[in-house]
Structure 1
Amino acid sequence: MRAVSASTLLARLVTLTGVVALDNGLAVTPQLGWNTWNSFACSLNETVILNAAQRIVDLGFKDLGYEYIVLDDCWSAGRNSSGYLIANATKFPSGIDGLASKIHALGLKVGIYSSAGTLTCARYSGSLGYEEKDAELWASWEIDYLKYDNCYNQGEEGTPKLSYDRYNAMGQALNKTGRPILYSMCNWGSDGPWNFASTIANSWRTSGDLLNTWDRDDANCPCAELDGLDCKTPGFRCSVLNVLNKAVYYVSKAFPGAWNDLDMLQVGNGGLSDQESIAHFSLWAAFKSPLLMTNVMTKIDAQTLSILQNPAVLAISQDPMGSSVSRIWRHPVADVDANGYGEIQLFSGNLMGGDQVVVLLNGGTQAREMNATLEDIFWESGVAGTASQVQQAWDVYDVWANRMDNETANAIINGTAVPAGSRFNATARGGAPRVYSQPPVVGDRWLMGSKVASVQPRGTVTARVAAHGVALLRLRAQSSKKNEL
């Protein structure tokens, strides 16, 4: 009998049972959606949220899999005499239940926010000690998603057991309602949630809040290099590379239904260049982090839309195998920015059907040619080139080769006719929803990308990588003739 890897076996179990982690059957692939916080903070209201939800439908994001509309902090107005949370009636004249009905009518799902403390981070009423009441209320409002923060926790952290008990109380309360509610823990990586959260939640944050900077050193976000600083402090205002270089150590802890969360996307919020935004989105997808957009949907520009709507990247994020990339190597480079950073990295991971995803990251300030041998790419399948994959020839596909052009993106944004012959995936607006449950066929340039090279056995993959950018590649063995047009 041929051996079956643990990740493959788990993927089959998910397919058969649909139940993992919290036993709610949700987040079998990393959740996709939109959150209010980074763009609106406490200025959220019913109009802001419904406008964003409508744009997510009209622009084709829903058809690509973005489904959760998540209200973050500042939505409540305290508790009533019975101890139940009440919504701010000025911000939400239809109530949260009325808003949920409108979002559901669009074919989307709705999320809510609270904190495992006496107060939320913006000092509204928290849920510590009210877990069952709050879960019961949210279920009655037909909420589909809970983001659960870590502020004002009464000192109930400092050991994994303390954090586990506090967050498990809400997980049990959500399950008790009988309504499937995706449970997103946001405890900033405190007490090592990757070691316990998979039994009680669908995702957990691995570090402090992500700022829209590439690699700026910020004293409020320690341990970019894990160099002996107080790495127990999660901090905030963390850069893309800081969050990434922490998450690399926990990739094996995630699996379908239970994901490492590198924090919400900053694509489209300013601060990141186009190449940095592409790299940020690519890395979060390859690491199987939830992809929660936070840009202002009513003001989205062409470059942002073309990044967030790349279905070939989303196919990697939503690959049913649920296997994150791992870091294979990391090297410093001579060209560094003002903060003294400059590095290149290689990441590699498995995809369903035998494909391989490869990420070449150039953290330097100059574009460069980067190389990765098949021995490196398949290192985890057999060190020193002993893996069977090293003995095969592979075709290399550039996942970003068919990025939507600005003319097409602007036509979609403005609701005008898409130019004839444009690089546009027609199913991204008004057509059949994208399906990521099967390996893309060769020739499907939207999900597969475009073939850019072939690599012979024991050969080398080469790519030109922009400064602060990535090459995101999908490899398929030439010996596999299935799934071809």
Structure 2
Amino acid sequence: MKLLKTALIACSTFICQIAAAQQYSSWDSLALTPPMGWNSWNFFEGKVSEKVIMDMADAMVSNGMKAAGYQYLVIDDYWVGGRDRENKLFPDTQRFPHGMKYLADYVHSKGLKIGIYSDAATLTCGGVTGSYNFEDLDAKTFASWGIDYLKYDYCNAPEDVNTAFCRYYKMGEALKHSGRPIVYAICEWGQRKPWLWAKAAGGHLWRTTWDSRDIWESKNKDLTGIMDIFNQQEGLANYAGPGGWNDPDLLMVGLYGKGSSSSVNGRFKGCNFTEYRTHFALWCMLDAPLMLNLDLTKMEADNLRLLTNKYLIGINQDELGKQATTILRKGDIQVLSKPLKNGGIAICVFNRSDKPATVNYQIKKDLNIWQPVNAFDVWKEKETRKAVTLESKLEGHDCAVYILSKAD
């Protein structure tokens, strides 16, 4: 809290926080559950275009992802062409020939929402024009295009937390006054502990780590694999809830080493399906935003079934909005528990080892759940009434997910 207090004092624009919070009560309702969608980074990067976004929108509708709850299509870095004579941003005219309003209208016609990217500095991570000192103008421009979501990065900006808070707060205020509800994703990478201050800056979600790579676990301190990111989520559950979410970065599911950023230009070939399945299950338990970045037009059937699993999505989108916490850790087996709005509990039994394991936990004794429960196995889609134990045979890096409900 010292970081937040220091930032509030240092930032001259932060006067009337309580009044602003009351005035913008509807602002907090923009992300009552974690956002679900797709982002152009990793796979398309600098090749993102009008056609790519339209193709992804078409695929999201036709393959059942929209029906499963996915709704945002976020254009990441490299879309900017520059500023015009009135200092308004405009897109790259070759890759977005009809402009952003045209593209937003197309996405909206599919019943989906569109997001865009900028940076709290003069240049983005990719070296194109950012929004620093043009926050009000850019927010109004995004609103005029029909943008529904802004990912706001922090490349080329000062490192101190005070400046970070002030810059993010300024854009948050600009979005609130833009005339359009726009979900605000703060992409600060976690070094300045944004879970302590990002919601006060107007954020609906905030990155907690560096960019994820399409690798299970990295032994290189300069790379963050899925497990490196998962480990960093311990202790953050109390900072997330309806209206504001911890964001452990994009889902790597289905990339299989494709995309120069996710694989660091081919240095590794991604994960296997079992690891992707566990990755998705853990992110659902963590109430993480479910943002994909693979080519939706070329999805493998098993990945599509996984990503549209109604039980896992139901856990992630549960209205109670309680992030899972670890309730048991024995050797390489970790058990996470997530309370649900209907009084149920989601349980994930996770084998961290690369070796197979057989687990057998007594629900009362080991998990400290005392009421009689029915246990629904998400993978098998089978319920055991008045279950006494949870038994699983897990492959390396595998998990089992159960939904426990009160037995009659």
Corresponding residue number in structure 1 for 2:338: 349
- TM-score w.r.t. the length of structure 2 is 0.88
Distance 2:227 2:26 in 1: 30
How many residues align? The count is: 373
Residue 20 of structure 1 contacts residue 257 of structure 1 at CA under 8 Å; is this kept in 2?
Answer: no
CA RMSD after TM alignment: 1.8
Residue of structure 2 in register with 1:436 after alignment: none
SS in 2 for 1:198: coil
Say whether residues 1:264 and 2:250 are aligned partners: yes
Aligned with 1:455 (options 383, 387, 395): 387
Q: 1:144 to 1:245 in 2, by over 3 A?
A: same
Q: Which residue of 2 aligns with 1:369?
A: 358
Aligned equivalent of 1:7 = none
Q: More deviation in 201-210 or 465-474?
A: 465-474
| Residues 256 and 24 of structure 1, relative CA distance in 2, 3 Å threshold | closer
Superposition deviation, residue 454 in structure 1: 3.8
Structure 1 residue 477 displacement after superposition: 1.5
Q: In structure 2, do the counterparts of structure 1 residues 286 and 113 end up closer, same or farther at CA, with 3 Å as the change threshold?
A: same
Which of the residues 202, 209, 216 maps onto 1:214?
216
Which position in structure 1 is the counterpart of 2:83?
79
SS at match of 1:179: coil
Tell me what 2:146 maps to. 142
The residue that corresponds to 2:377 in the other structure is: 398
1:474 lines up with 2:406 in the alignment: no
The 2-side partners of 1:315 and 1:377 are apart by 25
The answer to whether the 8 Å contact 1:346/1:372 transfers is no
Could you tell me how far apart the structure 1 residues matched to 2:366 and 2:88 are?
53
2:234 pairs with one of 233, 248, 260: 248
Contact 1:208 1:238 in 2 (8 A): yes
Give unmatched runs, 5+ long, in structure 2: 1-21, 257-269
Q: How does 1:276-355 map to 2 (within 5 A)?
A: 276-332=275-331, 343-355=332-344
Separation (CA, whole Å) in 2 of partners of 1:329 and 1:22: 38
Shift of 1:121: 0.5
In 2: Cα distance, 1:302 partner to 1:19 partner: 46
Counterpart of 2:342 in 1: which secondary structure?
helix
Deviation (angstroms), 1:375: 5.1
**Aligned-residue identity in percent:** 35
Alpha-carbon distance in 2 for matches of 1:455, 1:81: 68
- 1:187 paired residue number: 188
Relative to the length of structure 1, the TM-score reads 0.74
Q: CA deviation at 1:462?
A: 2.4
Deviation at 1:249, TM superposition (A): 1.6
Equivalent position of 1:118 in the other structure: 122
CA distance in 1, matches of 2:25, 2:360: 38
Residue matched to 2:17:
none
Q: Which residues of 2 match residues 30-179 of structure 1 at below 5 A?
A: 30-153=34-157, 155=158, 157-159=159-161, 161-179=162-180
Match in the other structure for 2:266? none
After superposition, the C-alpha distances for 1:313-355 in whole angstroms (9 at most, x for unaligned) are 10101111111110123344xxxxxxxxxx3211111011110
Quick one: structure 1 residues 294 and 370, their matched pair in 2 at CA, closer, same or farther if it must change by over 3 Å? same
Q: Deviations over 1:190-228 (max 9, x none)?
A: 2110111123110000001111111131220xxxxxxxx
The alignment partner of 1:30 has SS state of: coil
In the TM superposition, residue 81 of structure 1 has moved relative to its aligned partner by 2.2
- In structure 2, C-alpha distance between the alignment counterparts of 1:19 and 1:462, rounded to whole Å: 51
Give the secondary structure class of the aligned counterpart of 1:249.
coil
Distance 2:206 2:25 in 1: 12
d(CA) in 2 for partners of 1:20 and 1:450? 44
